[in-house]
């Protein structure tokens, strides 16, 4: 399996976004192809594994630049570090596991963006609605159900 077609596509996306094509930016995009909803630290590790070295600041700068250009989406679930994904251009939502922090996409249930309409926009032109659903992933639920509870003595 080759990655040349994906790399060419990523190069085109960078150019279309008005960005220079750099090895670091391509590595960041590839890291998020492999693992959506990655934290910046996850991306740093993946980029270093691919390139051999990259400064934390350079990766953070690339994440910021790529997000600003609309090539990445940044989400920050309450109490969790920011996460990045390549799924952009639609109005999807997320579900987050309270146990392990796993994140998954949930498609918008009602039409195009924004799929939720506020009662009062206070004059804002609303173009996106973000909803975070919280719960327990199947792995954490299975672990919780299979782990015997400790008994407390009276």
For residue 4, the model assigns a pLDDT of 44
Residues 137 and 93 in one domain: yes
Question: Is there a domain that residue 97 lies in?
Answer: yes
Per-residue pLDDT, 56 = 97
Residue 23 has pLDDT above 70, yes or no: yes
Identify whether 46 is part of a domain.
yes
User: Does residue 108 contact residue 92 with C-beta atoms inside 8 Å?
Assistant: yes
**In terms of DSSP bridges, do strands 132-135 and 93-97 run parallel, antiparallel, or are they unpaired?**
parallel
Q: Verify that 8 and 70 share a domain, yes or no.
A: yes
CB 94 within 8 A of CB 101: no
Asked if 104 and 95 count as a contact pair (C-beta separation under 8 A), the reply is yes
Whether the model clears a pTM of 0.95, i.e. scores above it, the answer is no
Number of domains in the chain: 2
- Asked whether the beta carbons of 66 and 29 are under 8 A apart, the reply is yes
Q: Within a domain: residue 83?
A: no
Dist. CA 71–CA 80, nearest whole Å:
22
Write b or e for each residue in 58-93: b if 16 or more Cβ atoms lie within 10 A of its Cβ, otherwise e: bbeebbebbeebebbbebebeeeeebbbbeeeebbb
In the predicted structure, residue 28 carries a pLDDT above the cut 70: yes
Pair 99, 63 in one domain: no
- Give residue 148's pLDDT band: very low, low, confident or very high (50, 70, 90): low
Is 103 a member of any domain? yes
Domain residue limits at 137: 89-146
Q: What is the CATH number of the domain that holds 10?
A: 1.10.10.10
Q: Residue 80: inside a domain, yes or no? A: no
The residue among 48, 75, 102 that closes a domain is 75
Is residue 54 domain-shared with residue 93, that is, in the same domain? no
């Amino acid at each position: 399996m080759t990655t040349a077609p994906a790399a060419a596509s990523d190069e085109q996306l960078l150019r279309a976004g008005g960005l220079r094509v750099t090895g670091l930016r391509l590595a960041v995009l590839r890291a998020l192809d492999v693992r959506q909803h990655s934290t910046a630290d996850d991306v740093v590790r993946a980029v270093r594994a691919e390139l051999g070295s990259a400064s934390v600041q350079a990766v953070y700068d690339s994440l910021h630049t790529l997000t600003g250009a609309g090539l990445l989406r940044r989400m920050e679930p309450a109490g969790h570090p920011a996460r990045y994904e390549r799924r952009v251009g639609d109005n999807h939502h997320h579900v987050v596991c309270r146990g392990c922090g796993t994140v998954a996409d949930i498609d918008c249930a009602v039409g195009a963006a924004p799929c939720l309409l506020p009662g009062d926009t206070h004059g804002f032109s609303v173009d996106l609605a973000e909803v975070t659903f919280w719960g327990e992933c199947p792995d954490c639920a299975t672990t919780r159900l299979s782990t015997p509870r400790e008994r407390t003595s009276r």
